[in-house]
Amino acid sequence: MAVDPTKSRTVLVIHGVQTADDAQLDQHVLIKDLLQSRLGNQPFEFTTELYRYEDINDAAQAKYLRLLQLLQYVPVAGSLAADAFDLVADVVTARSDTSTAAAIRAGFAAKILDIYASQHPCYVVAHSLGSIYAFDVINELIQTSGLFDRNDRTRWPVQGLLTLGSPIGLPMFRGERRWLAPLGAGDAFFRWVNYWDRNDPVVSGAILGSTLDDYRIAENYLTDSPRQGWDIQDKPLDTGKQWLMAHVAYWQHPLVGDGFLDLIMN
């Protein structure tokens, strides 16, 4: 099995924290619209797919959802808190060592390997909490025998990673993820581009959504080891949005579209 670089790219999206259920998710459509708007008339073949896991996730958070339902009986608290509550509950309870998290990762890995079997080059776009799952799964695949030969990109089930509004810098996620799986000796680099809005409270963890400057996030994983094989870039954005609106503004931002096209076309 090997990737055929002449085949069209497949963009696999893994969503982040949500108030919606699986049936209402459409981030693969959003990224498709963004890429097409940046391409203009330039011919480039790609398809987009979405890996959904919110229904699995919500089942694991029953106690918080019950509390959310109670909050909704209080008119002011309910209307203000509903979206933020679901988001916070998703992030805080997203322990990576539960059977739920393992099931989400296994499903995502299976989806990636399905695309690999079809020989289409696969690029992962991960938003918010989805970036944690993407990080874990890609690192697991790199450690899987027979995959990710550094000198043969046709053996890479994922060709590149784009993360948007990732909380990977927060201690609750960064603490136990202390390193990246190295690709070993060779010349090729696995590219990871991490976009973050300077006002995004999920990235900073700041409840007031304070603006951050010069904040290294993904790049903190870079080491001097020539065997690491990762090319990582943090790219700050200013979407012009505040607080939670900044967290969901990536899908329409032209710089994200241009940066992603650079990742998948070059």
Q: Rule CB under 8 A: which residues touch other proteins? A: 60, 64, 84-85, 88-89, 91-93, 95-102, 105, 135-137, 139-140, 143, 169-172, 174-181, 204-208, 210, 212, 215-216, 220
Distances (CA, A) of 135 to 97, 166, 178, 189: 14, 10, 12, 16
Decide: helix, strand or coil at residue 207: coil
Residues 134, 14 contacting (CB under 8 angstroms): yes
Closest distance to other proteins from the beta carbon of 254 (Å): 28
Which one, 104 or 249, has the nearer CB to other proteins? 104
Tokens 């322990």 correspond to what residue?
95
Residues 104, 56 contacting (CB under 8 angstroms): yes
Closest distance to other proteins from the beta carbon of 135 (Å): 8
Which one, 7 or 216, has the nearer CB to other proteins? 216
Tell me the C-alpha distance between 133 and 56, whole Å. 13
Which one, 170 or 261, has the nearer CB to other proteins? 170
Tell me the C-alpha distance between 177 and 182, whole Å. 13
Closest distance to other proteins from the beta carbon of 123 (Å): 21
Closest distance to other proteins from the beta carbon of 210 (Å): 7
Closest distance to other proteins from the beta carbon of 26 (Å): 26
Q: Where are the beta strands (DSSP E) in the chain?
A: 9-14, 46-51, 122-127, 160-164, 190-197, 230-237
Which one, 169 or 257, has the nearer CB to other proteins? 169
Residues 142, 148 contacting (CB under 8 angstroms): yes
DSSP state of 208: T
Which one, 139 or 252, has the nearer CB to other proteins? 139
Which tokens in the block code for residue 174? 């960064």
Which one, 7 or 66, has the nearer CB to other proteins? 66
Which tokens in the block code for residue 150? 């550094």
Closest distance to other proteins from the beta carbon of 180 (Å): 7
